[in-house]
Each structure stands twice: as C-alpha cells, then as structure tokens.
Amino acid sequence: MLMVKPALAYLDVIQAVRSISNFRSPPTTFRRIRRGEGRRPQRGWLDEARVVRENLMAIRRAGADQIITYHARDAIKGAWL
C-alpha cells in the first residue's frame, strides 16, 4: 500500500502510480479549518456536500482504490455519495 497525501494536489501522482504498479494507493483528504471556514456551510455560502462529493469523485477518477478522509462520517450520514 502506498499513501498519497494530500490527495487533491497529487491526482497526477495517484494516476501514475496506478498505471505502473499494483500498489493500492489510498489518498488522504483533510478538512482545512481556518478562520471562519467552518462557518461557510452553516451560513449557506458553501454547499459542503457538493464540494466533498466533487473532491472524492476526482480522487476516485484518478484511480484511487481507497480514500482516507475526515469527511467519511459526514458523507455516510448525509448520503452525500
């Protein structure tokens, strides 16, 4: 297993690893909490479900077999996928 971190910045690496080897490459994504960022979905400025879904789908399209993310619980509870 080979872990690619951070996933969105290295989608090309995920795709390259997948194309030349049999390694399982679970990329990781993390929620970036900065000043006020956590409030954006609460205020309606950002559709968090849509953003997470787009990010996870991009990682999957790059060839990831598994994705390790802090968004997993929210995605499952909210049926975001």
Domain count, the chain: 1
> Is residue 29 within a helix (H) or strand (E), and if so which, with residue range?
strand 28-29
**pLDDT tens for the 81 residues of the chain, in order:** 777 888 888 889 888 888 887 766 666 665 554 445 556 666 677 787 888 888 889 988 998 888 888 888 888 888 777
- The residue range of the domain holding 25 is 8-31+38-77
In a domain, 47, yes or no: yes
Residue 62 inside a domain? The answer is: yes
The answer as to whether 1 is a domain residue is: no
Alpha helical stretches, state H, the chain: 11-20, 40-43, 48-61, 72-77
